[in-house]
Amino acid sequence: MPSPARTREWRPDWPLPMRQVVSILRRGGGDPTFRYDDEGSLWRGIRTPAGPATLRLRQSGDLTVHASAWGDGADWVLDSVPAMLGAGDDPSGFVAHHPVVAEMHRRHAHWRITRTGLVMEALVPAIIEQKVTGQEAFAGFRMLVHRFGERAPGPGADRPLWVQPSPAALRTIPSWDWLRMHIDPARSRAVVTAARVAASLERTVDLPGDEVDRRLRSLPGVGVWTSAEVRFRAHGDPDAVSFGDYHVAKNVGWAITGEAVDDDGLAELLEPYRPHRYRVQRLVELAHVHRPRRGPRMAPRRHLPT
């Protein structure tokens, strides 16, 4: 018989848009670690420092968040819920220097930056997403979780909900299995290297953003884009910009100036927003503003030997 749920209630002191805040944690529509049920509850399979956990979040009409958790990591994940939903984020110093940004901020005034406190949870899929199409990246992540992860504890297993592989499991995956998951050697080596120092990476959650960036980018295969993708999820870094992204610079430039820009142009546009540059990036994403797209979509690459 599964152990009973641990439960907790938390009432945010602002009108929390829960789905909007946590949406950045979902890796594609088929993410096996992230589900919504028919009642609108969010289910997540999470590997915590205390062990795997299933987390269920439901927000009632008065905005109270009702959290239930199962597994060895239940207490840890319940303690993490307020930060995951943006309670530790402070947007008070953010000033919209452009009328378009001001309008987006007005429409999403209650959005906050998540902080999961889980570095490997953010780093592994970020590495898999490097320099490939979203379709290929999400498929590779799904295969990795299904083949080498585990079913989430308690009722999560019936969802079906999964937990990402442990660092120990990642270190033992043979090269041919990475290829079968369409994850090339450069990315698989980066994941395995990170898994070898996972404990030290998890200890970066309370460090300043610049120091976290330095430590992440000291890992082979982790550059400015991957570091940012980790920091704004795991560390709640409001200044972590996804430079090097195929879409971000073009879309932010289009939203603010009406023209697509490159990374140098993005850096210039966002400079006045330090230390809140990521807020602008995410507000553009939440507003679904993007440049007109022309031409065929990029085809997925093949990594299997021919």
User: pLDDT at residue 301 above 70?
Assistant: no
pLDDT at 293: 67
pLDDT band at 305; cut points 50, 70, 90? very low
pTM check: above 0.85: yes
Please tell me whether the peptide bond between 275 and the residue prior to it is cis, using omega within 30 degrees of 0.
yes
> 3-class DSSP state for residue 286?
helix
In this prediction, residues 256-260 reach a mean pLDDT of 94
CA distance 82 to 12: 8
Res. 302: pLDDT tops 80? no
pLDDT(268) > 80:
yes
Residue 306 has pLDDT above 60, yes or no: no
Cα distance from N-terminal residue to C-terminal residue, the chain: 48
- What was the pLDDT predicted at 3? 72
> Which residues face 51 on adjacent strands?
48
Environment class of 75 (CB within 10 Å of its CB; exposed 0-12, middle 13-18, buried 19+): middle
Q: What is the pLDDT of residues 171-204, one digit of tens each?
A: 999 999 999 999 999 999 999 999 999 999 999 9
> What tokens were used for 169?
């499991």
Spatial CA neighbour of 173 closest among 164, 19, 299: 164
The proportion of the chain whose per-residue pLDDT surpasses 70, expressed as a percent, equals: 95
Average pLDDT over residues 216-229: 98
Q: In the predicted model, is pLDDT for residue 262 greater than 70? A: yes
Q: What's the mean per-residue pLDDT of the chain?
A: 94
- The 3-state DSSP class for residue 12 equals coil
Residue 7, SS3?
A: strand
| pLDDT tens per residue, range 67-104 | 999 999 999 999 999 999 999 999 999 999 999 999 99
Task: For the beta carbon of residue 244, count every other beta carbon within 10 angstroms.
Answer: 16
pLDDT at 281 over 80: yes
Name the residue among 249, 236, 247, 229 with its Cα closest to residue 275. Answer: 236
115-135 pLDDT per residue, tens: 999 999 999 999 999 989 989
Give 294's pLDDT tier (boundaries 50, 70, 90).
low
pLDDT confidence of residue 2 = 59
Query: Which pLDDT tens digit goes with each residue over 227-245?
Result: 999 999 999 999 999 999 9
Q: What is the dihedral of CA 250, 255, 258, 264, to 10 degrees?
A: -40
CA 35/CA 45 separation, integer angstroms: 9
Q: Over 80: is that where the pLDDT of 254 sits? A: yes
Biggest CA-to-CA distance, the chain: 59
Dump pLDDT digits (tens) for 6-57: 999 999 999 999 999 999 999 999 999 999 998 999 999 999 999 999 999 9
Give exposure, 38-66, as e/b (b: 16+ Cβ within 10 Å).
eeeebbbbbbbeebbbbbbbbbeeebebe
Position 213 confidence tier, pLDDT thresholds 50, 70, 90: very high
- State how far the Cα of 261 lies from the Cα of 264, in Å rounded to an integer: 8
Q: Shortest CA distance to 164 belongs to which of 22, 25, 2? A: 25
Strand partners, 46: 53
Counting Cα atoms < 13 Å in the Cβ hemisphere of 86 gives 24
Q: How far apart are CA 10 and CA 69, in angstroms?
A: 14
